[in-house]
Chain A
């Protein structure tokens, strides 16, 4: 089966750092995505990992350990506009151009002033 787990909700303070974890058990792996979704809006791409290690992009970083089926999204210097849901998504291996991307249920992040 396929399963992607992430916490339902988290709360952090403006200016602080927060880490959102994601664990996955999927039938094959060909990359992990993080998306941000503000309430009432479409998800937008944040980061991509396919090899183990840390990818840094400004205030946001994403880490992957394939052997552990684990990723995290790290948000630094939190701003009020970071209040959103963060979606972890895994792409399976391409087979006959079958390129499914499966999403976790998302983590709703609340930022307090």
Chain B
């Protein structure tokens, strides 16, 4: 089974802190994604990456950056955390080139981040 592992299930940080959310997948997937999920707003794409050292902005990249130094690892960075970044963060990965449903997303368990 594909496994997408997020380093923390719950995280509490203070306003202004630099926050790192780590995600590792074990299936050699090319694509990796970071979403945040908020009540009433659903899943919103922050950043994604289709290759090592490549990154693309999603719909809400402001206040975030990402790093993909190795294929299996995709990190989300909050340079200076703010209270409006309190949310559930979900990492996902997907393969490329297998076509159709085989390119579905596999999600990690999520990190509930609270910024105080």
Contact = CB atoms under 8 A, between A and B. Distances in A.
Q: Is B truly associated with A?
A: yes
Interface of A: 31, 33, 35, 41-45, 47-48, 50, 87, 89, 91, 97-106
Given A97-B96, A98-B50, A101-B33, A87 B58 contact: no
Contacts of B44: 103
A87 B56 CA distance: 23
B31 interface: yes
Interface of B: 31, 33, 35, 40-45, 48, 50-51, 56, 58-59, 90, 94, 96, 100-101, 103-110
Contacts of B41: 105
21 contacts: A31-B101, A31-B103, A42-B90, A42-B109, A42-B110, A43-B90, A43-B105, A44-B107, A45-B101, A45-B104, A45-B106, A48-B100, A48-B101, A48-B104, A87-B43, A91-B103, A99-B31, A101-B33, A102-B45, A103-B45, A106-B42
Contacts of B100: 31, 48, 50
